[in-house]
Structure 1
Amino acid sequence: MLELNPDIPKDPDKVDRIMKSATRIFAKNGYLQAKTADIAKDAEVSKGIVFRYFGDKGHLYLATVEYVYERLTDVADLSVWTDAKDLGDMIERAVRYKIQMQLDYPAEFKVSVQSFSDMKLLPADVQPEMAEFWKKRTAQSTATLEQPVLDRMHVRAGVDKKVLAKLLNSVGEAVFADAEVFMQKHPNAQIEDFEPIIEQIHSEFDIIEHGFLDE
């Protein structure tokens, strides 16, 4: 997790409570509407402790985003991606799995997704730190999860795999945005209710993999 003010002793239990409270409150209210005083109260610490540990609200938000990323990474089964036999298999397995995780960890996923739309609302000194955080994590995820599958595929000559990975990520992000809207409209939805969305992304990746021209 983000280490701020490293010279200041921190109570691990208080840090954990602050992170859990910040996750819930940022998820519910977003960056602008969330109040540090509410986070401190929910965590049963003083507001001064929050600022002493994290410096300001912007860096508290950054630390919370890193906290939820690490939490989701710790519980994730990466074999869902790396053991896929091909691109279609990978994306179907990944979509099902990520939707299920989104149902199991709604606050963590919401903070993660909101961090992109909230980025321009952050203080000027925090924005580049958030951008750099996601740049590194995206590159890391691509190398760890998608690249092993792409390396096993017989991609036609001339295709830049970096461009291909970027295209795949763009399509995936669009589908997960659809899933987010669906969840907001159907808060009690189960994984089975997402079959149309899963079929949608499977069809889109089938077109990417096999093309759309009738040769």
Structure 2
Amino acid sequence: MLELNPDIPKDPEKVARIMASAVKIFAQHGYLQAKTAEIAKNAEVSKGIVFRYFGDKGHLYLATVAYVIDLLTKRADFSVWTEARDLGDMIERAVRYKIQLQLEYPDEFRLSVQSFGEMNVLPEEIRPAIGELWQKQTTTSIATLEKPVLARMKLRPGVDKAVLEKLLTAIGNAVFADAQVFMKAHPDAKIEDFEPIISQIQAEYDILEHGFEAESV
């Protein structure tokens, strides 16, 4: 979790209540309509404590998104990805598992997805940090989740694994950009609404894995 004022002593129980309240209210109302006073009330702390701990509403939102990403990362079972047979199998497993996680953590997923679509209404000083959070998450996921699958796949002679990983990273970056565009147009989207993007990823991985030239007769 990001902290604007790391040197200020903080009560861990109050921080936990503030985070739980902020996740719920930001997810339900979005950044603009969420009220810091309501977050404080639901967390059973004063509004002053919220500002003392996090500085302002914008940085509270940033801390909350960072908290959500960290929570979902810790709760995720990465074997769903790493035990996949190939890249196509990995994508199919990932989609199903993410929907399952969404049902288990609805507010956390809603906020994580909303943070894309709300980028243009957030205070300018936190926009780069939000973008960096998701860019880092995308890059880390590719390195952590795809490499074990690649290690089990039989690559044709002459394929440079470093170049292949670079191509996968490029696809991941493109997915990140596509997701941002999609969320700006569909701020209330759910994980399953990303199916067209997932299908596109599957098609790209299939071409990358099997090539695009027809076998000669």
TM-score (norm 2): 0.79
Listed as ranges, the matches of 1:9-158 within 5 Å are 9-153=9-153, 154=155, 157=159
Structure 2 CA distance for partners of 1:173 and 1:92, relative to 1, 3 Å: farther
- Partner residue in 2 for 1:190: none
For the pair 1:166 / 2:175, whether they are aligned, the reply is no
Task: Give 4+ residue runs of structure 1 displaced > 6 Å after superposition.
Answer: 172-175
Q: Partners in 1 of 2:166 and 2:202 — Cα distance?
A: 22
Q: Partners in 1 of 2:119 and 2:201 — Cα distance?
A: 30
How many equivalent residue pairs?
204
Q: Is the 8 A contact 1:92 1:202 kept in 2?
A: no
Q: Is the 8 A contact 1:27 1:108 kept in 2?
A: yes
Q: Partners in 1 of 2:209 and 2:36 — Cα distance?
A: 47
Stretch moving more, 163-172 or 128-137: 163-172
TM-superposition CA deviations, 1:79-115 (whole Å, max 9, x none):
1111212112211211111110011111101111111
Q: Partners in 2 of 1:141 and 1:168 — Cα distance?
A: 9
For residue 78 of structure 1, report the CA deviation from its aligned partner: 0.9
For residue 132 of structure 1, report the CA deviation from its aligned partner: 2.1
Q: Is the 8 A contact 1:82 1:145 kept in 2?
A: yes
Stretch moving more, 147-156 or 135-144: 147-156
Q: CA RMSD in A?
A: 3.2
TM-score (norm 1): 0.79
TM-superposition CA deviations, 1:14-67 (whole Å, max 9, x none):
111110111011111111111111111111111111111000111100100111
Q: Is the 8 A contact 2:40 2:46 kept in 1?
A: yes
Structure 2 CA distance for partners of 1:173 and 1:152, relative to 1, 3 Å: farther
Q: Partners in 1 of 2:140 and 2:201 — Cα distance?
A: 24
Letter in 2 for 1:4: L
Q: Partners in 2 of 1:80 and 1:172 — Cα distance?
A: 21
Q: Secondary structure at the match of 2:31?
A: helix
TM-superposition CA deviations, 1:113-167 (whole Å, max 9, x none):
1112212222122112222222222222111112222343326747643223432
Which segments of 5 or more consecutive residues in structure 1 lack a partner in the other structure?
A: 188-192
Structure 2 CA distance for partners of 1:61 and 1:41, relative to 1, 3 Å: same
Give identity over the alignment, percent. 61
Q: Is the 8 A contact 1:18 1:39 kept in 2?
A: yes
Which segments of 5 or more consecutive residues in structure 2 lack a partner in the other structure?
A: none
Stretch moving more, 112-121 or 204-213: 204-213
Q: Secondary structure at the match of 2:17?
A: helix
Stretch moving more, 12-21 or 113-122: 113-122
Structure 2 CA distance for partners of 1:134 and 1:88, relative to 1, 3 Å: same
Q: Partners in 2 of 1:83 and 1:75 — Cα distance?
A: 17
